[in-house]
Amino acid sequence: MILFGHAAFQYLNAACELGLFDLLAEKGPLTGEEIRTALDLEERACDILLLGCAALRLIHRDGPVCRLSAEIGELMDRGEWTHIVNTVAFEQHIVYEGQADFTESLRRNTNVGLRRIPGEGKDLYPRLAQTPRLEEVFYRYMRSWSQLANRHLVRHLDLSRSRTLLDCGGGDAVNAIALATANPQLRVTVLEIPSSVPVAEESIRQAGLEDRITVRGLDLFADPFPTGFDCVLFAHQLVIWTPEENTALLRKAHDALAPGGRVAVFNSMSDDSGDGPLIAALDSVYFAALPAEGGMIYPWSQHEASLRTAGFTGLRRIELPTWTPHGILIGTKAI
Ligand SMILES: C[S@@+](CC[C@H](N)C(=O)[O-])C[C@H]1O[C@@H](n2cnc3c(N)ncnc32)[C@H](O)[C@@H]1O
């Protein structure tokens, strides 16, 4: 499976893009011939697609009849299949080519794969807005990846007595919206690079939360943070940068907090033992090869060291019961 992992992924991607799973979900079990007609494929092409999807157990074949696998059916029933499809599109259109530079990225200890993403900019994010199709694929995925786990963030990050939250690198505001919806007294400021501000503003408008969530365009590293917040959130942010950069961002968060305020780090974490979980290891290939010079799915203890160096105390680890390796670290600024 490792040797041909790339081919397995291409079957999954092709089946998503051609609409095989949606077709079987909508129409129920179909023969190969019915599928071929509905997907408008030549016989050989459809034979290849069905061979691969059946061998990988994405579909089941019973004689001439094909049906959706129980696992995909369950993901659809739970409303999570869209998140998988959005993740597949991200892997195919943004991650895949850049990962070919993984070895060279390790040799040079920098993100050589960024050369595969068109546009100007020293990291991935300013380049996205220069290719609108990629920007759409990225933020659709980012929203899904957050939504796979952010109900746990809403549950574990008690904001019932907080009035203000600063969401650093908040993307399309998916987490700001979830937290503001769950905490009606909360006001959120989202910090984003200027080119992504319209993406965040549009989803805040769609959520009808313009009165409680505002977006400020700035560079997290170069510009000062606004101050006086009860909570600062880094969601899927401290996996992008080097440990030194993370510590610098956490210091700025510490300065931005009111005494007694809390910082929350919400992203995938790897085990301190350095041997898993598997998804954390696999996801680290992307962070090594593509978005920025340094980054990985760091072990919990690495984030804890950065938090302590930045001045936070009372650190709390919250491991989440999800197949994604998400976790939350909460630290407090002394009163
Ligand atoms: C991996 S995404 C996470 C988005 C969001 N927090 C979420 O969890 O869905 C990282 C975000 O950080 C933003 N970002 C990257 N570098 C930044 C910088 N220097 N200043 C401000 N935002 C930045 C990107 O534009 C992107 O939206």
Q: What is the pLDDT of residue 60?
A: 98
High-pLDDT (> 90) share of the chain, % = 100
User: 196 CB less than 6 Å from ligand 1?
Assistant: yes
Average pLDDT, integer, range 182-194: 98
Average pLDDT of the segment spanning 110-137: 97
Answer yes or no: are the C-beta atoms of 75 and 148 closer than 8 Å: no
Alpha helices in the chain (DSSP H): 5-18, 20-27, 32-39, 43-55, 70-77, 81-90, 96-98, 102-108, 124-128, 132-147, 150-156, 174-182, 197-207, 243-256, 278-289, 300-309
Q: Pocket of ligand 1, candidates 220, 233, 268, 297: which has the most ligand atoms within 8 Å of its Cβ, to mutate?
A: 220
* Domain range annotation of the chain: 5-77, 150-332
The residue whose CB lies within 8 Å of the most ligand 1 atoms, and thus the one to mutate among 114, 125, 172, 204, is 125
HSE-up of 197 (CA within 13 Å, CB side)?
11
Fold classified for 5-77: Arc Repressor Mutant, subunit A (1.10.10)
Give dist(CA 30, CA 279) in Å, integer. 33
In short, whether 191's Cβ falls inside 6 Å of ligand 1 is: yes
**Alpha carbon 28 to chain centroid distance?**
31
What mean pLDDT value characterizes the chain? Answer: 98
CA of residue 234 to ligand 1 center, whole Å: 9
Instruction: For residue 2, give every residue at least 6 positions away whose Cβ sits within 8 Å of its Cβ, in sequence order, or none.
Output: none
Across the range 225-252, mean pLDDT stands at 98
Give bridge partners of residue 188 from the DSSP assignment.
165, 213
Q: How far is the CA of 126 from the centre of ligand 1 (A)?
A: 10
Residue whose CA is closest, atom 14 of ligand 1?
169
Rounded to the nearest angstrom, the distance between the alpha carbon of 287 and the centre of ligand 1 is: 13
Question: What value does the mean pLDDT take over residues 256-274?
Answer: 98
Cα 16–134–129 angle (5° rounding)? 160
CA of 208 to the centre of ligand 1 (A): 22
- Our answer on whether the CB atom of 173 is closer than 6 Å to any ligand 1 atom is no
Q: Is 125 near ligand 1, meaning CB less than 6 Å away?
A: yes
Q: Residue 331 has what pLDDT?
A: 98
Measured in Å, residue 334 CA sits from the centre of ligand 1 at 27
- Span 57-96, pLDDT tens digits: 999 999 999 999 999 999 999 999 999 999 999 999 999 9
CA of 267 relative to ligand 1 center, distance in Å: 12
Query: Would the CB of 170 count as within 6 Å of ligand 1?
Result: yes
**Does ligand 1 come within 6 angstroms of the Cβ of 237?**
yes
When pLDDT is averaged across residues 11-19 and rounded to a whole number, the result is 98
Of 236, 265, 297, the one to substitute when testing ligand 1's pocket (max ligand atoms within 8 A of C-beta) is 236
CATH architecture of 150-332: 3-Layer(aba) Sandwich (3.40)
Is 230:257 a contact under the CB 8 Å cutoff? yes
